[in-house]
Amino acid sequence: MTTVASESIRQAAAQLGDTSDTPRLDAEILMAHALGIARETLLLTLRDAVTPDGFEALVARRRRGAPMAYITGTRDFWSITLKVGPGALVPRPDSETLIEAALDHFGAKGPRTILDLGTGPGTLLLAALAEWPEATGLGVDISEEALAYARTNVAALGMASRAELRLGNWAEGVDARFDLVLANPPYIETGTVLPRDVAAYEPHQALFAGADGLDDYRILAGQLGAIVAPGGMAAVEIGSGQRAAVTALFAATGLDIESRCDLAGRDRAILLYHR
């Protein structure tokens, strides 16, 4: 029996109530994905749309806790759409704070060179390169799985001539200075209980950073001073309540330090300037 999409979405939203904070939105996105159209198009044609085969299977995956980005295979970030999946950290809107800070510093002229440490699927690097078309950049990550997605995204965005990717541990082996350094290191205390769609699916090495959540900041504290070019800046994401501790660690860089909040007013980034 044919089922109209609007009814299937209503039923799916009810089923996802215990899994998601946004069950209706999730149901709409999954329906649009199953139909191969944009969610905006779905909403305009919802009255006439018919539920396609495969929609229920997508809903079942979400009910089991799979991240929406892993189910659809994509996540929008800043002005770009990234391919993501198992082994890659899902980009979060909070991380756009780093791009906003860089835009405030460099303006339209932009940086010439960009380094993204812990690039994952290329999130910060490719967003920055999209913002400044004349720039080139390097993305480093310790995970070959994550870099596989980054390579796919570099190609899909037509940035192969501007973006280099490298397997590595933070800035080890990086022997140049960059106008803009970006990093979203793991900052969650090991043992913290996370939502199921994060804890059971996303890579733990991209999430957890020791008993106090600061292990990777300690590494970066010994590296950032040597890789930020004169006149340049670094923007490093932090977790809630970490501003004072990370600022103290980064004093060793010899760079000028500021902090920046996200749109919700929470401390989200430490900014370091080579004046």
Query: Could you count the other beta carbons within 10 Å of the beta carbon of residue 218?
Result: 15
Establish whether 141 is an annotated binding residue: yes
Establish whether 185 is an annotated binding residue: yes
Establish whether 118 is an annotated binding residue: yes
Establish whether 51 is an annotated binding residue: no
Contact 212, 249 (CB under 8 A): no
Contact 62, 34 (CB under 8 A): no
Tokens representing residue 12 in the block = 């799916």
Establish whether 110 is an annotated binding residue: no
In the sheet where 163-167 sits, what is the strand order?
Answer: 163-167, 136-141, 113-117, 178-183, 228-237, 267-273, 256-261
Establish whether 119 is an annotated binding residue: yes
Establish whether 186 is an annotated binding residue: yes
Establish whether 170 is an annotated binding residue: yes
| Residue list for the binding site | 118-122, 141, 170, 184-187
| Residue list for the binding site for S-adenosyl-L-methionine | 118-122, 141, 170, 184
| Residue list for the binding site for substrate | 184-187
